[in-house]
Structure 1
């Protein structure tokens, strides 16, 4: 059985543009004067990241803000393309990364269920079989027929999580999005993740909480300024995760 996720020598570079607040006149003059031109800076968000997550295993990504965790998760999800290296994901991937991703704010919650599920390749007839469970889990009640633009961040998270889990993904990618909403619903989500893990789902979890990662994950990777600084497995967990750290982390 092939691994759920293979990350091979992935790097991601962004171009930071400064002085973007220039007016129209200044921008026109900048075409002729080097000193007035927009300054660009290269920023390496990820530097030669490699690891493999086997089927049914869970990996936690730890690190401070700006360490590259969310960028890496977006690359695994296919939202961003790496500047170098490659990512292979074997199976249906459900990304819980940013509120509103895959949703249209002008459509109702009910309509967005079909829109979001279609992005996973589901047909309407298959989605209809799951709508009752999705609405019930989300606890949105009559708000399901309200346009998404009127939802709070917590309501959007409820709908996004409910759609993702009831489409039965092979791989779940979860960012700090689970920090949104009330504690009771968070606990409900985490209990659902545990149930799905028992049924063989693979998980990549981004969290600032070491305790949460220890609870739900077999292994962890700690990032700092785009490189792996620490990796390993938790006590009483198996050690089948293969991690190739960059030279700078060794």
Structure 2
């Protein structure tokens, strides 16, 4: 992967898929800013990167807070002089899955704030910096739920469809500037969000695996491989695309 010495921010990198993405970038020689709403988790991941791979900084940021995202971008540029890659990975699911008529306003507001508005904040602020530089790369973590219907999950579905649309719109706007923007759409992947889904009913594990042609969940490392590839110099002619990693579920 051609990402050596690139300056990379990964949001929501304190655990799960974000953790795997941050470490995979570091393994390939990137300088990684590990961002998470939980600073202790970010510090732990960053320390592991420094011990095993190379350069890293932990920075606390709530992606639903514009000023904190602004500080995150500025901190990275101050520390390293530029920003090569932003991975908008931070995301949440609803506290309670329910049909649209019974969905809580709290779950709607919370999920949209992080998954949709948070991605917009990250893209807008990173693009301001990348436009000044004349180069840059953004990878947004969407979801299979951004490509097809997801029952009892209206806010998450709406937010992830939005991420796919925002990715395409921004990619078109900035294609001439040397900035590429793509999205990755994981299917059911081993993570805290999957654990939350599995806990909703005793037979959920069996139900999900029946609809996955490969009959297994994705691994965080497999998502990380795709993200680093899209952010690398090996994919210079790819922009505005959604790469789906779902074991064939969308088929």
TM-score bin (small chain): 0.3 to 0.5
Q: Which has the higher strand share?
A: 1
Larger Rg: 1
Please, what TM-score do these two structures have when normalized by structure 2? 0.33
Q: Which has the higher helix share?
A: 2
